[in-house]
Amino acid sequence: MTNESVTPRPPSANEGIKAASHFLRGTLVRDVADPTTGAISEDNNQLAKFHGLYLQDDRDQRIALKRAGQEKAFAFMLRVRLPGGRCTPRQWLVLDRLADQVASPSLRLTTRQTFQFHGVLKASLRPLIQGMHTVLLDSIAACGDVNRNVMAPPNPERSPVLQQVYDQARAWSDYALPKSRAYHEIWLGDELVAGGEPESEPMYGATYLPRKFKTGFALPPSNDVDIFSQDLGFIAIVEDGRLAGYNVTVGGGLSMSHGNEKTYPRLADLLGFIPPSDVIAVAEAVLTTQRDFGDRTDRKHARLKYTIADRGLTWFRGEVERRSGVRLSGVRRFEFTTIEDPHGWQLCADGTWFYGLHLLSGRIKDAPGWPMKTALREIAEIHEGDFRLTPSQNLSLSGVSDANKARIEGVLARHGLAGENRQTGLRLNALSCVALPTCGLALAESERVLPELLAKFETLLEAAGLRDDAISLRITGCPNGCARPYLGEIGLVGRAPNKYALYLGADYNGLRLGRLHVPSVSLDEAVALLTPVIRRYAVERWAGERFGDFCLRTVLTEKPAAVPATPPTPVAT
């Protein structure tokens, strides 16, 4: 068969939806006004993502509602756009109130440094978005085939150039926003322009990108944003105390599908070095190259990582240089020596304090004996700096004066939350995705099983004398990789109810992916399987050797793992 006779594959259905949407409007207005259902059409659901919204249903209620012949318990998830994860106390107070008034009362901090609301009924979408608008927050491009929430180092004052890096991340985020007024018309009641002046998307075009696109900025020595998992990354290079420029990374991405070898997690390549003044030009060139060459026929093959894997880095660099007019120079030296958030009080060079607060899975709610939502509201009422959401689902309070330090400590102590940072090294480093009951793609539990899973490992770690050792465990309810599990030293990836693929051997600082160790284990089996490994690690590790490195040197190169028939009970010594 000759090349000419190969029929080109048709564009995926989403391409048609985008093209016909009149710049992301579709028939959302009509669907939102329809009182006969809590849902919107599937086509409009694809468009709603560009507005930061996902139609979901409470999966815990599915069977009962089906038996009762009723509609699913539909509600929306809304994701806020928050470049670099920064938010003011005033914004915090509004989000906190909106969560109580129009959503499930909890707030969820995500692995890309923003907030998610869950359980928002259709009728509450406008009040929520309009409430956010009063404090200049929106959810534009938080999801969809566009440049998503841009990540930037959150932890304040680790370096004098942090503010500069944040400003550049923010500038790129603003630059890459869709120009369509659809969001303002539909949710904020701006005058409808449909049928009026034609709109255009100078950078994206009418069909936007083939798939989501993620950008991160990192500031060594911290790789807190997991830079090699981003489609596009900027690693700040500081020379003589000044920001000399950035090493650009391209083609990271973590998602895969079980059993489909054509899909795989991939770490980004280093493309070259640029001065700070070229960030926007190069970012735009990377994005438009992906816009023009990304695979629009198959959404499982549409991310930038596949464009680069298929066409090669040399071709890609040439295309970026041609489009941007910037010649990338050789990569400059950098070193990542940490990834974790600092916890507790840290004194900054300018004499202010910041407080790193650990929040398991980023969940902020009031639970019996754990009134975190109330405590943070009270802190927001007195806090003079800002809140910074971290890529590890934690929170930093920055810009705290001596006087306010004591007051914030007082609030935490009064609510019994002063010890939140005195957790095991494993707990402080654990990440989980949302999964059940809201995520429509979850194959297994994640956030809801994390506390119990950690408790099991903690017994073992305490017994082995490893209580304070930082080991990263990341769990997700499916292989999409939302908690970046392939970069956790212990990665658990859901494949069916209580069945997970177990990955081991990732680099603690995010420089090496884990390897599939066992394709399918229950959580108890995973604990049982890791029990001897953790015990060995306690006694056989080399000085300073991380758990991921140890696994690579030992269990991953030794005989294949066998799943123990009966999980042994950890023995305290």
- The single residue listed with the structure tokens 């010649």 is 327
Task: Decide whether 508 or 550 has the Cβ nearer to ligand SRM.
Answer: 508
**Shortest Å, Cβ 391 to ligand SF4:** 15
* C-alpha–C-alpha distance, residues 279 and 12, integer Å: 32
CB atoms within 10 A of CB 135: 15
State the minimum distance, in angstroms, from the CB of residue 60 to ligand SF4. Answer: 15
Of 421, 403, 289, residue with least CA distance to 351: 403
Strands 386-389 and 395-400: antiparallel
Closer residue to ligand SF4, CB minimum distance, 107 or 287: 107
Q: Are 444 and 496 in contact (CB under 8 A)?
A: yes
Q: Which does 478 bind (CB under 5 to 8 A by kind): ligand SRM, ligand SF4, none?
A: ligand SF4
- For residue 428 the two structure tokens come to 């402080």
Q: How far is residue 233's CA from residue 152's CA, in Å, rounded to a whole number?
A: 10
State which residue, 176 or 482, has the beta carbon closest to ligand SF4. 482
Q: Which does 103 bind (CB under 5 to 8 A by kind): ligand SRM, ligand SF4, none?
A: none
Per annotation, catalytic residue among 87, 143, 439, 551? 439
Contacts to ligand SRM by CB under 6 A: 54, 56, 77, 79, 110-112, 114, 116, 148-149, 212, 214, 229, 253-255, 303, 433-434, 438-441, 480-484
Per DSSP, the three-state class of 302 is coil
By the 8 A CB rule, do 187 and 126 touch?
Answer: yes
Backbone φ, ψ for residue 159 (5° rounding): -150, 145
Catalytic, 148? Answer: yes
Which residue in 112, 181, 305, 478 is the catalytic one?
478
Determine how many CB atoms are found less than 10 A away from the CB of residue 170: 16
Q: 427 with 450: CB under 8 angstroms?
A: no
- Which entry of ligand SF4, ligand SRM, none binds 223, CB below 5 to 8 A by partner kind? none
CB of 129 to ligand SF4, least distance (A): 22
Smallest separation (angstroms) from ligand SF4 to the CB of 285: 30
CB burial of residue 472 (10 Å; 0-12, 13-18, 19+) = buried
CB-based contact 376:364 (threshold 8 Å): yes
Q: Binds 110, which of ligand SRM, ligand SF4, none (CB < 5 to 8 A, cut-off by type)?
A: ligand SRM
User: One of 18, 25, 79, 291 is an active-site residue; which one?
Assistant: 79
Sheet arrangement for strand 269-274: 215-218, 232-239, 242-250, 269-274
Query: Least Å distance between CB 263 and ligand SF4?
Result: 14
Closer residue to ligand SRM in complex, CB, 245/510: 510
**3 state DSSP class of 15:** helix
Q: What is the DSSP string of 44-99?
A: HHHHHGGGTEEEEE-GGGHHHHHHTT----EEEEEE-B-GGGEE-HHHHHHHHHHH
Q: Report whether 480 contacts 524 (CB < 8 A).
A: no
- Please name which of 51, 60, 53 lies closest in space to residue 24, comparing C-alpha atoms: 51
Shortest approach of ligand SRM to residue 535 CB, angstroms?
31
Residue with Cβ nearer ligand SF4 (147 or 476) = 476
**Partner interacting with residue 112 (select from ligand SRM, ligand SF4, none; CB below 5-8 Å by kind):** ligand SRM
Binding site partner of 474, from ligand SRM, ligand SF4, none, Cβ cut-off 5-8 A by kind: none
| Pairing, β 53-57 against β 74-79 | antiparallel
Q: For residues 337 and 27, what is the distance between their CA atoms, to the nearest angstrom? A: 49
Q: Cβ closer to ligand SF4: 434 or 449? A: 434
Nearer to ligand SRM, 139 or 168 (CB): 139
The answer to whether the CB of 474 falls within 8 A of the CB of 526 is no
**What gap in Å lies between CA 570 and CA 573, rounded to an integer?**
9
* Helix locations, 176-303, DSSP H: 182-188, 279-293
Tell me the closest approach of the beta carbon of residue 373 to ligand SRM, in angstroms: 18
Nearer to ligand SRM by C-beta: 185 or 489?
489
- Is residue 214 flagged as an active site residue? yes
Instruction: Verify whether residue 478 is a known catalytic residue.
Output: yes
Which single residue is written with the structure tokens 């603003």? 174
288 binds, among ligand SF4, ligand SRM, none (CB under 5 to 8 A by kind): none
Partner from ligand SF4, ligand SRM, none contacting 54, C-beta within 5 to 8 A by type:
ligand SRM
Query: Which of helix, strand or coil describes residue 521?
Result: strand
Residue 477 site contact among ligand SRM, ligand SF4, none (CB < 5 to 8 Å, cut-off depends on kind): ligand SF4
Residue pair 334/142 in contact (Cβ under 8 Å)? The answer is no
Q: How far is the CB of 531 from ligand SF4 (least distance, A)?
A: 26
| Active-site hit among 86, 181, 212, 363 | 212
**Of 173 and 480, which CB lies nearer to ligand SF4 in the complex structure?**
480
**115 vs 362: CA distance, rounded Å:** 9
476 binds, among ligand SRM, ligand SF4, none (CB under 5 to 8 A by kind): ligand SF4
Applying CB under 6 A, which residues contact ligand SF4?
Answer: 433-435, 439, 441-442, 446, 476-478, 480-482
Helix segments in 226-351, DSSP class H = 279-293, 304-311, 313-324
Nearer to ligand SRM, 35 or 259 (CB): 259
Q: How far is the CB of 24 from ligand SRM (least distance, A)?
A: 17
Clarify whether 81 is annotated catalytic: no
Q: Least distance to ligand SF4 from the beta carbon of 265, Å?
A: 12
For the chain, what's the residue count? 573
Q: What residues act catalytically?
A: 79, 148, 212, 214, 433, 439, 478, 482
